[in-house]
Amino acid sequence: MSQKNQTLGEFIIENQSSFKYTSGELSRLINSIRLAAKVVNHEVNKAGLVDIIGAAGDTNIQGEDQQKLDVYANEKFIQTLTNRNIVCGIASEEEDDFISINSQDENNNNKYVVLIDPLDGSSNIDVNVSVGTIFSVYRRVTPVGTPVTLEDFLQKGSQQVAAGYVVYGTSTMLVYTTGAGVNGFTLNPAIGTFYLSHPDMEFPENGKIYSVNEGNYIHFPQGIKNYIKYCQMEEGDRPYTSRYIGSLVSDFHRNMIKGGIYLYPKSSKNSNGKLRLLYECNPMAFLAEQANGKASDGFTRILDIEPTELHQRVPFICGSKNMVVKAEEFMRLAE
Ligand code: AHG
Ligand code: MN
Ligand code: MN
């Protein structure tokens, strides 16, 4: 049960028994993410004061320029999880391949693997706009004590045991689920403690916000074009408001609180859209469903998609349930 002024640390301990598996390992894992989030938050907040803004001079496996803070956040999350011997494997947007932890050590009895987008929306850093971190947690499927394999990471989203994000915004929040609803915690920066500020978060069933990069309109499938026109039509509670930050975490967070839909469709330039299934769409889809929302690729439930590659991309439509259902209707009609 949530209570007023409860800290994240207290909440984790209190809710440990409601996890499906109660060894305490998952609690330690969430605790490590909490710690890494504070470290990264500290650095993100210094952007502009110290030499942390701008490109790191490298590209990741997806050909995207890595920002200095992408590299920093990636290192901090990996270090924190590795040093504590908390997980048996990590996959990250910024790493070509997954990392096997203590694979030689037969005493590594850890059961969980983590997939992360260490810094989401990183092109927003230079202009002082909110960024985030996304994480997704699975139980490994290969035997404990052996090195992890790709199979441990390529699990369907419906197998996630936990997922969440940190949003480094006007305030810093950690929002996560272990499959029993979604709770949000706000950091008090003066004392470095997260407090439960948003218990039992839920998407309103209907919303009035649509979030999409409309600059790509010309390249979108007909179903998406028709849905966007529907959002803009003068009828009933429409036209809707358009809000697009360009930082999935922030756009999702706003839509969950206010009611809305986020779309990153495929386009004639990019046949699978832009967002990555394993460390962007799956964790957000798990959170959405746990918060009474919905996530789809336009036709299929995101959490039912069978992954084939670590850095696989997928079209993504996510948000208030009735809005996502409507967008799917338009997709089907235009088939
Ligand atoms: P990342 O910074 O981790 O590469 O992710 C950026 C993603 C997502 O956060 C955002 O919604 C989307 O890219 C924005 O893409 P466009 O600039 O193409 O709209
Ligand atoms: Mn991202
Ligand atoms: Mn990223």
Spans of all domains in the chain: 8-198, 209-333
C-alpha closest to that of 139 among 264, 254, 21, 44: 21
Q: Measured from the CA of 64, which atom of ligand 1 is nearest?
A: 4
State the chain's mean pLDDT as an integer. Answer: 92
Which of 213, 248, 278 to mutate for ligand 1's pocket (most ligand atoms within 8 Å of CB)?
248
Separation CA 286–CA 293 (nearest Å): 9
CATH 1.20.5.50 fits 209-333, yes or no: no
Dihedral (CA of 84, 86, 89, 94) sign? negative
What confidence category does residue 123 fall into, taking pLDDT thresholds of 50, 70 and 90?
Answer: confident
What confidence category does residue 220 fall into, taking pLDDT thresholds of 50, 70 and 90?
Answer: very high
Residue 2 confidence (pLDDT) above 90: no
Alpha-carbon Rg for the chain, nearest whole angstrom, is 19
Total-model pTM: 0.95
Task: Say how many Å lie between the CA of residue 31 and the centre of ligand 2.
Answer: 22
- The pLDDT tens digits of the residues spanning 300-329 come to 999 999 999 999 999 999 999 999 999 999
Residue 52 confidence (pLDDT) above 70: no
pLDDT of residue 3: 65
CATH 3.30.540.10 fits 8-198, yes or no: yes
pLDDT of residue 84: 83
C-alpha closest to that of 78 among 66, 90, 86, 69: 90
Residue with more model confidence, 122 or 61: 122
Residue 48 confidence (pLDDT) above 80: no
Instruction: Judge if the beta carbon of residue 121 lies within 6 A of ligand 1.
Output: yes
Residue 104 confidence (pLDDT) above 70: no
- The pLDDT tens digits of the residues spanning 125-156 come to 888 899 999 999 999 999 998 899 999 999 99
